[in-house]
Amino acid sequence: MIKSIILGAGKGTRMKSDTPKVLHTIFDKALLGYVIDAVNGTKLVDENYVIVGHQAEEVENYVKSNYENSKCVLQSPQLGTGHAVSMVLPYLKEFEGEAVILCGDTPLITSETLKEFIEYHKSNNSDITVMSAIFDNPTNYGRIIRNSDGTLNSIVEEKDATAEQKAVKEINAGIYCVNWGKIKAAFSELKTNNAQGEYYLTDIIKWGNENKLRVNAYTLKNNEEIFGINSKANLAEAYKLLNHRVVKQHLDNGVTIIDPDTTWISPETEIGADTVIYPSCYINGKNKIGSHCKIGPYAHLRGGVVLEDYVKVGNFVEVKKTTIKPHTNACHLTYLGDSEIGSGVNIGAGTITANYNPLTGEKSKTIIKDNVKIGSNSVLVAPVTIEEGANVGALSVITKDLPAWALAITRAPLRVLENWVSKHR
């Protein structure tokens, strides 16, 4: 199997944040998580080594909590990208296979591209393959300098480039596939004779050519995939790019999205054909939405949501960690959290499941069985079960289980004080 080395030690000064750069999120998922998932999604990599530095403990906690096949390696002090990769040498002493090297701040890279990249490396019998891209404006990127036969001669950082080299539009995308057994010796021979005084990872190209290794460059098809995050503006742009990709996939799969520009859908959400998403919806986290559903406008799904076929979640409805069976409607101004809701249920406007105990910090479940009707402005205080067919009158607060086909009402009796207004005017 292949190993991956993911660079995540940088501070990200331009983010102007207390959060490590690679732990900034898109749809509540860390940038680093997108990269690790893309690598794991190739099914070719069995171990990931994440290089950590700035706020290393926080990044390591994230990795440990989410990825069993990944471990963190500390880079301290941080002396450049070449130095960062060299940190894994003690862990891969005996390893002779391929390694993929990536940056932890490129959340748009896909498993499909990485798989194609690795296959290109193998089919060309390369010892080192660099991913490249063609940019009309290559400013600030390292330039790909090719030999006359198309093989890769070197990568020159812009600060070290001549005017002729700066005119080259092919740039280094920052992803490498290497024959680890052949190139690991390079990391003890890198020099710091450059404008930054650092050990550049790009210098392994020159080293490889000097040592008669086969060095190639694979040109990326979609430049968006290597979009790196260095600022909050970059983060916002990546959010849009990822969302555009996800929305297009759903449109292609038969989902009706009325206004793609105001609809936000996480990449981990599945949606069945003929479902309609109305404008200004935000669908976050991992969810599964069936066919022929109607979502929104102004609906918010927060993750852990399963909507079976023909469910309606209407305007200003918020849903979290909830399963809803077919032909159930929650049309207006409702919060459904930590719930199981049956089929044929109607949930009136203003209903909430009160699932959180502020004294204990515990969240409890609300269970609503088939054919239940919940009146408007009702509060269901979890843990509570509403059995099949029960009706809850409007303005009721339900604090205990209701039997099947019962009617529950907790509102105060209506009092009419005649002429009260006239007497107090």
pLDDT score, position 11: 86
For Cα atoms 397, 403, 407, give the angle at the middle one, nearest 5 degrees: 55
DSSP for residue 117: H
- Count other Cβ atoms within 10 Å, centred on residue 276: 14
Residues contacting residue 36 through CB under 8 Å, at least 6 positions apart? 6, 48, 50, 63, 66, 67, 70
Q: Go through the domains of the chain in sequence order and give each one's CATH number.
A: 2-226 (3.90.550.10), 232-408 (2.160.10.10)
Q: In the prediction, which pLDDT does 188 show? A: 87
Pick from 39, 50, 35: which is nearest to 5 by CA? 50
76 three-class SS: coil
Residues of the chain with pLDDT under 70: none
CA-wise closest residue to 165 among 192, 138, 187, 198: 138
DSSP class of residue 182 equals H
Give residue 197's pLDDT: 77
The strand pair at 128-134 and 170-179 is best described as: antiparallel
What is the model's pLDDT at position 30?
98
Spatial separation of the C-alpha atoms in residues 153 and 130, rounded to whole Å: 11
C-beta separation of 224 from 239 below 8 A: no
pTM: 0.93
Lookup: tokens for 164? 């002729």
Please give the C-alpha separations between residue 4 and each of 1, 63, 278, in angstroms, as whole numbers. Answer: 10, 14, 41
Per the CB < 8 A criterion, the answer to whether 90 and 74 are in contact is no
Residues labelled as active-site residues: 332
Taking alpha carbons only, the member of 257, 175, 250, 245 closest to residue 26 is 245
Reported in sequence order, the residue ranges of 333-405 that DSSP labels E, i.e. its strands, are 335-341, 346-347, 352-354, 366-368, 373-374, 379-381, 384-386, 391-392, 397-398
